[in-house]
Chain A
Amino acid sequence: MDFILEAQDLLKIYRSSWTRQKTTALDHLSLKVERGQIFGLLGPNGSGKTTALKAFLGMIRLNHGEVKLMGESPHQMSVKSKIGFLPEESYLYKFLSAQESLEFFGRLAKLDSKTLPHKIDTVLEKVGLLESRKRLVKHFSKGMLRRLGLAFILLKDPELIFLDEPTVGLDPIGAFKIRQMMIDLKTQGKTIVMCSHLLGEIENVCDKVAILYQGKVLKEDTLEKILSIPEKIQIILQNQSQNMGSLQKLLKDSHIEIESIGNPRKSLEKAFMEIIHLSS
């Protein structure tokens, strides 16, 4: 298998110098992410999700363990030009406008300066910030900052993207758009590693999930395997009014116990988006 991220036995202990208290943020964590997947790190607050992301990106000094991105150290310049990161908080320079920010980070990422202005306009249009490109970042709302962060990623066009709580603090439409963008990126062949404590978010977009708790991976598998209940079977009927009675009779005659019968449910997000779409 082609693994784009390999983390082996990561140990990170934070130590307070005054009280000498130790906190184990990552407790011998090991993970492998396949190329082209959307991989979710799921866990409650303080479970080590963000620390794990920082460890993958080489932004913290580990007590033990090794991370390889695309088979190399995350500190390699060749690797750095192929990865993108959307942090939970906006770490942008507030005195720059959206366009200036993208120009600065585009140049920092060593993108071609001739095509950069055109690319900037394209990504700003894609994230819906073209009109606000001259506005200073300090006047941006949280949703706009998130979209600008995504614009950086689209501009850099990396192979591997790390997203830290990508939809936190966004309204349902903003969150939906970001999730849609993630799915689009996946179809382009990008790999996404995201962390979130929102179960619905992980469920909607991820192929594979690792559940973290107290710095440890408690479970790691495909979403399908984690969510399916092997001892129960769900049957979805195409034409319910015609088939319901005969199916019930058939099951009863075969002495098959029925737990519940009802209409399948769509997610609240899907229902919300449909209602909004209809009204607009």
Chain B
Amino acid sequence: MRAITLFTRLTFKEILRSRTYGFLLLFSLLSSASGQLFLNFTLQEQEKFLKDIGMASVTFFSILLSVILGSTQIYNDFENKQIYSLLINPLRLYEYLVGRFLGFIFLIALAMGLMGLVLYASLIVQNLLFQMNNISLEIDIRQAFFFSIQKGLLANLPLLKGFAALFFQSILLCSVALLLSCFVSQSFAVIASFLILLAGHLVNLVIPLSFQYHKMLGHLMTFLLLWMPNFENFNITDSVVLGQNIPPVYFLWLSLYTVLGVSLFLFISHRVLFQKTGEL
């Protein structure tokens, strides 16, 4: 456990000190708040616009971050041979792998948490500005502030469900990228991860369509796509923005699906790296 914690902290420190993560985070935060630039609509339209842009930014940057983290960090440790300095110590490969992966999870959580804060702050500011500009010139500022909190934050708490689903998707995608980086170069792993993400979102569409075309094709596509993580399961952002109810049991299922998927991909990655390091 000590070694796992060490690697989690190391990963956290490493990424926080890298410029790439800093720039990525900066752009993601700017992007989350960029809905503020479009304020020539009604309050409802503006709010919908902010939520759409904010959630799209969170989706895009969480995917980008998880793919970059998963496909580069462990690959670099092997490529730069740091793994030799590590494995000379009383350390099991799984401790290294789990520790690194937990570091990725914390970093994704940190980035998404900050993006979430910016999005909620934008919604509050937007409500506040709307009241100050449109309701009354003599409005009580405290009252307006509380009203903005009510409207911007509390009324939009269901957005957190979308964040949770995106978080689970990012973790699963990160484990896919990590697995791919065990076989191919990091740039190839990045590309392949995006392709798997795309294919994973098309599973629900492609299989029924191919069955409509031909039964054999349907079976073939089912066979080809069945092993692929179904990322469409995590696509609840639109429903959340539109205010549709998502039952809590769905998140239980999503978390279970993520844990199983991540465990499987990490297990395969471990076996591949095990062969690479020569550990018996």
Residues in A lying within 8 Å of B, measured CB to CB = 54, 57-62, 73, 75, 77-78, 80-81, 83-85, 87, 89, 91-93, 95-96, 100, 104-105, 107-110, 152, 156
- B82 touches A (CB below 8 Å): yes
Q: Closest CB-CB distance, B111 to chain A, in whole Å?
A: 18
**Contacts A85-B84, A95-B18 given; does A60 touch B89 at CB 8 Å:** no
Q: Closest CB-CB distance, B188 to chain A, in whole Å?
A: 16
A77 partner residues in chain B, CB cutoff 8 A: 90
Tell me the count of chain B residues lying within 8 A, CB to CB, of chain A: 25
A156 partner residues in chain B, CB cutoff 8 A: 89
Find the A residue at minimum CB distance from B280. A75
Partner of B6, one of A80, A81, A104: A104
A108 near B82: Cβ-Cβ < 8 Å:
no
Partner of B82, one of A62, A78, A92, A107: A92
The answer for the CA separation of A97 and B82 in the assembled complex, in Å, is 16
Residues in B lying within 8 Å of A, measured CB to CB = 2-3, 6, 10, 13-14, 17-18, 80-91, 275, 277-280
Partner of B278, one of A60, A80, A100, A105: A60
Q: Give me 20 A-to-B residue pairs in the complex whose CB atoms sit less than 8 angstroms apart, sorted by A's number.
A: A57-B88, A62-B278, A75-B279, A75-B280, A77-B90, A78-B90, A80-B89, A83-B88, A85-B84, A85-B88, A91-B80, A96-B13, A104-B6, A104-B10, A107-B2, A107-B6, A108-B89, A109-B89, A110-B2, A110-B89
A89 near B2: Cβ-Cβ < 8 Å:
no
New A-B contacts (19) at CB < 8 Å, excluding given A108-B3, A109-B89: A54-B84, A59-B87, A59-B277, A73-B280, A75-B280, A87-B84, A91-B81, A91-B82, A91-B83, A93-B10, A93-B82, A95-B13, A95-B14, A95-B17, A96-B13, A105-B89, A108-B89, A110-B2, A152-B85
A87 near B81: Cβ-Cβ < 8 Å:
yes
The answer for the CA separation of A109 and B280 in the assembled complex, in Å, is 20
A59 near B91: Cβ-Cβ < 8 Å:
no
The answer for the CA separation of A96 and B86 in the assembled complex, in Å, is 15
The answer for the CA separation of A110 and B6 in the assembled complex, in Å, is 11
B80 partner residues in chain A, CB cutoff 8 A: 91
